[in-house]
């Protein structure tokens, strides 16, 4: 009898059910990259990396989460919907890290039935906040961190808004910030068989410059599993940090 292929969604559900309650959402970090770690050819230019099978898997992953988070750079570059339309829903609530409220009022994710949550800083212009509220957004102000929104405060606020499972989908600065802040419970990476030599997904993870050249100082996937989906491969598993963080937390 043929052994069924491992299912990352089932593994994620099992891990979440066994986890201890937290004062923040469970965080799943996920992205698609080429063989050389590229997510785009040039900055601010979207590149379709995932094949049809892994796009479907991504939408299954979205449907399991309460919220889906991106940085404002992704909104400005891609104008994404951030829905689970390929699997018919349910659709996670969009969350945008936007320290200066640059999200356009006409952004497609603001058309979500629940409205998007825009996480910003206390000094973001109130006039922009009012325009975005009129477009259906909920503005969540949290303290500023060294590089933008303070991530621990942002996650605590999202938990207060009822989000228990949060999918962090990008872009590169956001993913790097979450990893540097040690804020992630699970990782799922799609690997497409191309060589691009473009924008790296995790540039700056080794900051500050004196981070030791030792893998023990970097996050890793424990008990990782691998499965092919069409032309792509997918790696998933729990994230662990065996060493202290390399730098301050923050986000775009």
Tell me the pLDDT tens digit for each residue of 165-211: 999 998 888 999 999 889 999 999 999 999 999 888 887 666 666 77
Tell me the pLDDT tens digit for each residue of 213-226: 778 778 889 888 99
Whole-number pLDDT of residue 202? 83
When pLDDT is averaged across residues 94-105 and rounded to a whole number, the result is 97
Whole-number pLDDT of residue 252? 59
Tokens at residue 170, please? 């990008």
Which regions of the chain does DSSP assign to beta strands (E)? 26-34, 38-40, 67-71, 93-97, 117-120, 138-141, 144-145, 148-149, 165-170, 186-192, 199-200, 220-221, 225-229, 232-240
Among 77, 104, 46, 98, residue whose Cα is nearest residue 252: 98
Whole-number pLDDT of residue 89? 87
Does residue 122 have a pLDDT over 60? yes
Does residue 138 have a pLDDT over 70? yes
Whole-angstrom Cα Rg for the chain: 18
Mutual orientation of helices 8-18 and 52-64 as an angle, nearest 10°?
Answer: 20
User: Which fold is adopted by the domain 28-240?
Assistant: Dihydrofolate Reductase, subunit A (3.40.430)
Does residue 76 have a pLDDT over 90? yes
Q: What is the mean pLDDT of the chain?
A: 90
Whole-number pLDDT of residue 2? 66
* Per-domain boundaries in the chain: 28-240
């Amino acid at each position: 009898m043929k052994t069924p292929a491992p299912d990352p969604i089932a593994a994620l559900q099992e891990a979440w059910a066994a986890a201890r309650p937290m004062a923040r959402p469970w965080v799943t970090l996920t992205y698609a990259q080429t063989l050389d770690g590229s997510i785009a050819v040039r900055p601010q230019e979207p590149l379709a990396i995932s094949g049809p099978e892994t796009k479907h898997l991504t939408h299954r992953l979205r449907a399991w989460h309460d919220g889906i988070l991106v940085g404002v750079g992704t909104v400005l570059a891609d104008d994404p919907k951030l829905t689970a339309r390929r699997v018919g829903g349910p659709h996670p609530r969009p969350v945008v890290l936007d320290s200066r409220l640059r999200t356009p009022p006409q952004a497609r994710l603001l058309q979500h039935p629940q409205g998007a949550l825009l996480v910003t800083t206390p000094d973001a212009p109130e006039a922009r906040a009012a325009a975005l509220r009129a477009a259906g957004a909920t503005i969540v102000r949290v303290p500023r961190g060294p590089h933008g929104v303070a991530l621990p405060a942002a996650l605590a606020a999202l938990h207060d808004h009822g989000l228990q499972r949060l999918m962090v989908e990008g872009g590169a600065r956001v993913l790097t910030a979450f990893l540097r802040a040690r804020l992630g419970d699970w990782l799922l990476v799609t690997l497409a068989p191309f060589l691009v030599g473009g924008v790296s997904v995790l540039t700056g993870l080794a900051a500050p410059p004196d981070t030791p050249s030792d893998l023990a100082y970097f996050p890793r996937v424990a008990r990782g599993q691998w499965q092919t989906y069409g032309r792509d491969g997918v790696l998933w598993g729990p994230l662990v940090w065996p060493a202290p963080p390399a730098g301050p937390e923050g986000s775009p």
